[in-house]
A and B are shown apart, each in its own frame.
Chain A
């Protein structure tokens, strides 16, 4: 096969992002602390430019290159755009927070962009190897980001925990991959799918490998019972990092689940005997533990961590509901959840002042009195997470329920709505402290213009996609159907 540079065109977004990241790293070396804003601007510009490149190389077809290691398809394109958009918001929210803590350094953005690169590789992975590569790039960057505030003991502790548990999970995933490789002799998803479908392979080995792979996926999502890292990491990491870590990687995890479970091991779904049964258990446990334990939290970062776990349950239900409607619903859910989560954490980032992390429920007391606009935005985020119309979170849940009923799993739909009612309580409590309680300190809320603008766009997006969900839904539907 002769090499032609134009065959690399579909990989342009990744190549561009990597190049830009390296350039920013070098430029940042020569900047004084006063001109750090330049790095920030470059980083934001890079994200926007990468979105443009994704849009430029994207088309309705799917392309497989690099011997099956890389896939460019409409689903990947849409997920990448979502990924970069959500990351853009988190970058904007973090600026002032980092400045106030004297950690406004170029490395933050470089690390985050490397993590983004890893996630884009995961999204476009055509085989286990490239997926694992992307996953590790993501994980290593995140470990460093969690410990980004070097003076913070809690941050270091959280990074250590995350690292140890993450390494174990990666090991499990790799072990599972090796079993599947041993069973099928293939590493690319298409090849694995063909080998599984042929029935020539030893099912026992495959199922054995599958269990470990599912554990790896569940860990990345933070699904119960592999969720224990999430509350500690969210709690320990600087809230600006949590805004990134708690939102963007969910999109990549969704891609990973679809690529491995559906495109690779779709033949091993098999109801209760295959990964479908495992996902049902993971989903129901996540919904139950996430929603119930969240009620007991007074630290809002921990609370949102458990809430994430509960939302992951919903995403799993969407994947379970099957091709077409189910996957579309899960994708819609993932994207809108990431957008909601980045807003929720972003608001906490904005409210944090020098020396004070806004991380406990009582830090939000009386926000409506101090800053009604920000309070209104938080109201939108919380009701969206609770799934109350006309906010987008409602439609995300509705599409999942709808797909479940259509797939004949009405009982799962009823379990899911029952837990959403329980879940509504703790979101309401956040609204309650914001609106009904008196502020405990009189320090006024100050926010930078860029962050304020971003949070407004982010919050109003909840309302916009709640009133007009059809646009995003049809995009997801096209991406999945393509």
Chain B
């Protein structure tokens, strides 16, 4: 199915061009920049809604396709399209960007036009990553993300921002250039740059392993997986609130998306033979990083580590598929694992965004992220406390919230693979509850810790709007995940079928 009008291009280029417009509005009139940015973000979100309503969930084929030659001598095309895996992530991107724009409303006083423009350009580029069906186009969008993020962390970040942003850039850059070599190699094997053609190309085992490792370098850094996760806490702590939200809610998902779009279907045999590696890395992330989160003194760092642990679930869900394959009696679990990973990605997009926004609310008032500086916030900010407790519960995986659905599905699938995987994964329900709730206890509850806390003002309408809309999203996905799973179902079933077939 192809759209009557280039809807994906519109969702990509409207925020980019709108971002440039915001940039040129100058820093003399911040109000204009802000309203312009909000208009662009809302328009983009509205434009992206037809992707959901017009989506045909019955097929695994790419929809809303656009295909134009771009660099003909290299057979590179401007080829866009979405399936059930990428479409929800695009909506997540356009939705979260609105929240980011609103969250930075009065808080960002230094060059608000550049701040807003950077996020809008970022939005377009991230949608481009999810929508690209041409490997080179994908890579261009993938790398282009680095530039605005580099600037965002570097200009509006915390005290140690320069270190954090350069570390962020070089880590991700190193990972991605290896992927570039792999893409060029695949181009010569398949004679085309189309990602779907890569899926069909036959590859030997050694080739597959090398390509798999090159992709792993790119995606593992982005997810991030233990042990290449160390850039994330630094980047998160130093980034402004909006930057943290985009990082956690969307950019990490791009790593997970990469596994589904590239690693699994292009190198299924290498994925199979190296699944122990990914599963180990995921379980270490879930258990060990969970404990690391427990001892953090800094709220943002704690949530950053919690993100790594939650993303461990995603990669676990994707790769236990192969173990389930080897036990034919429980075949249906394979789809469940991947679906669980996907639900977890979307849900984590909402919850981590909400958690970082909560910390942002506190930081804007107190200019401290240290847990020790807080205590008894509930006494002065009851509304805020209600939101924060809710999101903390969701982060800990309380049934009824979206956090529960994804984790439960992955654990269920893990049981079909191996009891011990499931056991280790399930410990997160305890550890996750421990670090999240303990933080909430120390920050929100208790007696008023100091005069500064006593002087806190409760959240205003703008903040309530942002957090409130996330509450709705988290609850909706938690109580009724059906529509999301339905949309993804055909694509994921098709993917699982594809990777079950050896390429050797």
Residues of A within 8 A of B (CB): 368, 372, 379, 383, 388-390, 394-395, 398-399, 401-402, 405-406, 410, 413-414, 417-418, 420-421, 424-425, 428-429, 431-432, 435-436, 469-470, 473-474, 477
Given A388-B147, A389-B140, A435-B151, is A428 in contact with B166 using a C-beta cutoff of 8 Å?
yes
- Name the one of B111, B143, B154, B165 contacting A389, with C-beta atoms under 8 angstroms: B143
Classify the secondary structure of A's interface with B. helix
Contact mask for chain B residues 139-157; partner A; CB cutoff 8 A; 1 contact, 0 none: 1110110110011001100
Given A417-B178, A421-B177, is A401 in contact with B184 using a C-beta cutoff of 8 Å?
yes
- Check A425 against B166 for contact (C-beta < 8 Å): yes
List 5 extra interface pairs beyond A389-B140, A431-B154, CB under 8 A: A372-B27, A401-B180, A401-B184, A435-B151, A436-B154
Contact mask for chain B residues 153-176; partner A; CB cutoff 8 A; 1 contact, 0 none: 011000001100110011001100
Given A410-B181, A421-B174, A421-B177, is A428 in contact with B150 using a C-beta cutoff of 8 Å?
yes
Classify the secondary structure of B's interface with A. helix
- Check B161 against A389 for contact (C-beta < 8 Å): no
- Check B155 against A417 for contact (C-beta < 8 Å): no
Q: How far is the CA of A41 from the CA of B493 in the complex (A)?
A: 68
- CB closest residue in chain A, given B175: A421
Q: Which of B70, B141, B181 has the most CB of A within 10 A?
A: B181
- Check B187 against A402 for contact (C-beta < 8 Å): yes
Q: Is B72 an interface residue (CB 8 A)?
A: yes
Given A388-B144, A390-B140, A474-B73, is A432 in contact with B181 using a C-beta cutoff of 8 Å?
no
Q: How far is the CA of A379 from the CA of B155 in the complex (A)?
A: 14
- Name the one of B150, B184, B187 contacting A431, with C-beta atoms under 8 angstroms: B150
Tally B residues with Cβ within 8 Å of A. 37
- CB closest residue in chain A, given B143: A389
**5 tightest Cβ-Cβ pairs between the two chains A and B:** A389-B140, A417-B177, A436-B154, A470-B71, A389-B143
Contact mask for chain B residues 328-359; partner A; CB cutoff 8 A; 1 contact, 0 none: 00000000000000000000000000000000
Closest beta carbon of chain A to B250's beta carbon, Å = 19
- Check A413 against B143 for contact (C-beta < 8 Å): no
Q: How far is the CA of A436 from the CA of B114 in the complex (A)?
A: 13
Chain B residues with Cβ under 8 A from A405's Cβ?
181, 184-185, 188
Q: How far is the CA of A422 from the CA of B111 in the complex (A)?
A: 31
Q: How many A-B residue pairs have CB under 8 A?
A: 89
- Name the one of B146, B181, B184 contacting A388, with C-beta atoms under 8 angstroms: B146
Chain B residues with Cβ under 8 A from A435's Cβ?
151, 154-155
Chain A residues with Cβ under 8 A from B154's Cβ?
431-432, 435-436
Q: How far is the CA of A189 from the CA of B16 in the complex (A)?
A: 51
- Check B143 against A394 for contact (C-beta < 8 Å): yes
Chain A residues with Cβ under 8 A from B151's Cβ?
431, 435
Chain B residues with Cβ under 8 A from A418's Cβ?
177
Chain A residues with Cβ under 8 A from B141's Cβ?
389
Given A417-B177, A436-B161, A470-B73, is A406 in contact with B140 using a C-beta cutoff of 8 Å?
no
Q: Which of B166, B180, B187 has the most CB of A within 10 A?
A: B180
- Check A390 against B144 for contact (C-beta < 8 Å): yes
Listed by A's residue number, 10 A-B pairs whose Cβ atoms lie within 8 Å are: A383-B147, A389-B141, A395-B71, A401-B181, A401-B184, A402-B187, A413-B181, A421-B170, A428-B170, A470-B71
Q: Is B480 an interface residue (CB 8 A)?
A: no
- Check A414 against B188 for contact (C-beta < 8 Å): no
- CB closest residue in chain B, given A436: B154
Q: How far is the CA of A421 from the CA of B177 in the complex (A)?
A: 8
From residue 7 to 28 of chain B, which have CB atoms closer than 8 A to chain A?
A: 27
Closest beta carbon of chain B to A334's beta carbon, Å = 18
From residue 61 to 78 of chain B, which have CB atoms closer than 8 A to chain A?
A: 69-74
Chain A residues with Cβ under 8 A from B71's Cβ?
395, 469-470, 473
- CB closest residue in chain A, given B157: A436
Closest beta carbon of chain B to A320's beta carbon, Å = 16
Chain A residues with Cβ under 8 A from B73's Cβ?
470, 473-474, 477
Q: How far is the CA of A428 from the CA of B174 in the complex (A)?
A: 14
Closest beta carbon of chain B to A297's beta carbon, Å = 17
- Check A389 against B144 for contact (C-beta < 8 Å): yes
Chain A residues with Cβ under 8 A from B184's Cβ?
398, 401-402, 405, 413
From residue 392 to 414 of chain B, which have CB atoms closer than 8 A to chain A?
A: none
